[in-house]
Amino acid sequence: MNNDGEPMEYDNLTKPASAPDVQGGVLWADTVNKLFYLYGGEYYQSSPRPFSFWSYDAIYNSWNTVTPDASQSGIERASFGASVVQEDTAKAFWYGGWLSNASVPEWNAPPTALSFFIEYDMIANTWTNSTGPDSIGRAEGVMLYIPASDEGMLIYFGGLMDNGNGSLLAQPMNVRDDSQRQEKGADEL
């Protein structure tokens, strides 16, 4: 088969019915252990199940739930947030996104854009859920990792801002917000 320089396609991958089918989530790649972790997303035309963290083992072609650490207890499934993996430290990040009746069981409020910043440590299997650089809910943006300095930099831009009164605004791409730099430190944005 000629792939015209593209990687080989595999069509024999399996997925158990218990592993969620979601949209607006992310697969975090653990390049050392050849795993993908499924975080976030919303269910389409079905009710969401309680959050469980899934991994896909690329070597053994198997989906498994990750045994939760106590730090996972406050983590909810959000959708359409910004995400990136810092491969050299095996850490995955998620910022903002939506909580809604398509992502959280028994959610009975309008969709809410989050201002939370989640970090998952793939080596320690621990979660950190902290506030973002401010209290403005954001969703549908992009996050990039830049390997600058010892710790690197996370850059977020684009997407939507929820100002809390039910209206959404596009995140300005031409305005620098120095409050983020002061609160989190230049190397943590």
Query: Can you give the residue range of the structural domain that contains 56?
Result: 22-188
Question: How many Å apart are CA 186 and CA 150, to the nearest integer?
Answer: 12
Per-residue confidence (pLDDT) for residue 45, from 0 to 100: 85
Residue-level pLDDT at 181: 40
Looking at residue 180, what is its pLDDT? 42
Residue 42: the pLDDT is: 96
In a domain, 67, yes or no: yes
In a domain, 128, yes or no: yes
Q: Is residue 13 part of a domain?
A: no
Q: Is 50 part of a structural domain of the chain?
A: yes
- Residue 188 has a pLDDT of 45
What per-residue confidence (pLDDT) applies to 186? 40
Number of separate domains in the chain: 1
Query: Is 36 a domain residue?
Result: yes
**Tens digits of residue pLDDT in 109-129:** 999 999 999 999 999 999 999
- Contact status, residue 115 vs residue 131, Cβ threshold 8 Å: yes
The pTM is what? 0.85
Residue 48 in any domain: the answer is yes
- Is the residue at 5 inside a domain? no
* Helices vs. strands in the chain: H and E counts, helices first: 1, 15
Ranges of the chain with pLDDT below 50: 178-189
Q: What is the pLDDT of residue 175?
A: 66
Give me the phi and psi of 143, to 5 degrees please: -125, 140
Query: 143: exposed, middle or buried (C-beta count within 10 Å: 0-12, 13-18, 19+)?
Result: buried
Residue 139 lies in a domain: yes
Q: What is the pLDDT of residue 167?
A: 83
> What is the domain-level CATH number for residue 59?
2.120.10.80
